[in-house]
Amino acid sequence: MSSVRSTHRHRTLLITFLLALLLTQSVGHSALANDSAPLKNEPVADSDSIVLLVASSPRAAYQTEVTIEDKSLKRALEASLSADPYTEPILPDTMLRYNTKNQTVRLGVTPTGDVIDLAARQIIKLPSKVQETLQSHVQTLRSKHYGELLTWEEASLVLPKFSSFSILDVESGLSFEGQRRAGSHHADVQPLTKVDSATLKSIYGGQWSWDRRAVLVKLNGRTLAASMHGMPHGGDGIPGNDFNGHFCIHFLGSVTHGSRSVDPAHQVMVHRAAGLLLDYVSKLSPWALIDVWISAAHQGDLQLLQVTTGQEQAMHVRSMRRLSKFTEQDVSQLLQLDTAVDVTMTAARASAVSSRRVLFHLERASVQDRWYIRSAVIQ
């Protein structure tokens, strides 16, 4: 097992080296490193209050928090010891904060109630009853923060044609109003007003974009997990809204109009909006995992790159899209896989689009474990 882990580390280093000529270093790398570093303690008044906060990523402006009073939980946290290592590729989306000895302690919490020492990346052992209570608090908070994971058929009934609803971007926290105008395989939506169009454009940094983003669709007291892009296209039905066409919102299992196929980038964003990103990616086949990697590279999404490789990534290209179809094979008994994928891409400091081939090497520790991309060589 130690030799396998050593091989994993060497392969992880290889990916950064091999992509160095085409991928640029991103300021997000230091941000990711700082997210997992211990936070500086500051003098504060002690109390029995414990604050839970959830966000889809460390930099997400949209956050939901709750304050609970639980002396038993606080005593258990103060008396606890670190136990097993925390081995997931990204830190939990839920944070726990409390004051003790005039200092603030910050810890991570998983959906199952495991408490994580962020600096040491170790699981803190708690009594089972205390952990069950904490798990209940965390699940309640996450259910308020994230959306329901509904199939397109179910979502289409909740959002009938010409219904209006709120759309909230889970990273920026910006929200605007839209209306479903059409769409039989996903929702074709238009912003209601000029202000709503301006908000949508600001979510994408001031320009229209095909990039997929995780969003929450809110209507009649329900919140649905979804994914949108921000590019006006097709028919226009709301005059005077400064939006020439419609944009698309996808739900679980929805397909595109043209290819009648599920869009991998939309589906990963739908699961992010449901708070199920890590669970979803960990169950993907090698080829589906490669699709997530390509989408992450295309959008410069460092969190998605980290989920696919198991390591912090600090690289991106200006664009990358898959060209070739996958020829999938039975990998049920394999621990390693090498495969080639044809892509179109634009290098970080270039403007021209070129056709390239990427050689992927994937590994997993056992047939029960998930796959990781350990190297990606662009030829």
For 96, the 3-state DSSP assignment is strand
Q: Name 279's Cβ contacts closer than 8 Å, sequence gap at least 6.
A: 271
Helix (H) / strand (E) containing 279: helix 277-281
CATH code linked to domain 152-273: 2.30.110
Q: Residue 145: phi, psi to the nearest 5?
A: -80, -40
- pTM score, whole prediction: 0.86
So what's the pLDDT on residue 19?
A: 44
pLDDT digits (tens, 9 = 90+) for 275-318: 999 999 999 999 999 999 999 999 989 999 999 999 887 666 88
Q: Give per-residue pLDDT as tens, 28-86.
A: 333 333 333 333 344 444 578 999 999 999 899 999 999 999 899 999 998 888 789 99
- CATH topology classification for 2-23+286-378: Nuclear Transport Factor 2; Chain: A, (3.10.450)
CATH topology of domain 41-145: Dna Ligase; domain 1 (3.30.1490)
Contact 38, 118 (CB under 8 A): yes
- Please state, as a whole number, how many other Cβ atoms lie within 10 Å of the Cβ of residue 225: 25
Domain boundaries of the chain, sorted by first residue: 2-23+286-378, 41-145, 152-273
Q: How far apart are CA 150 and CA 206, in angstroms?
A: 30
pLDDT for the residue numbered 46: 58
Closest CA to 155 of 180, 118, 120, 174: 180
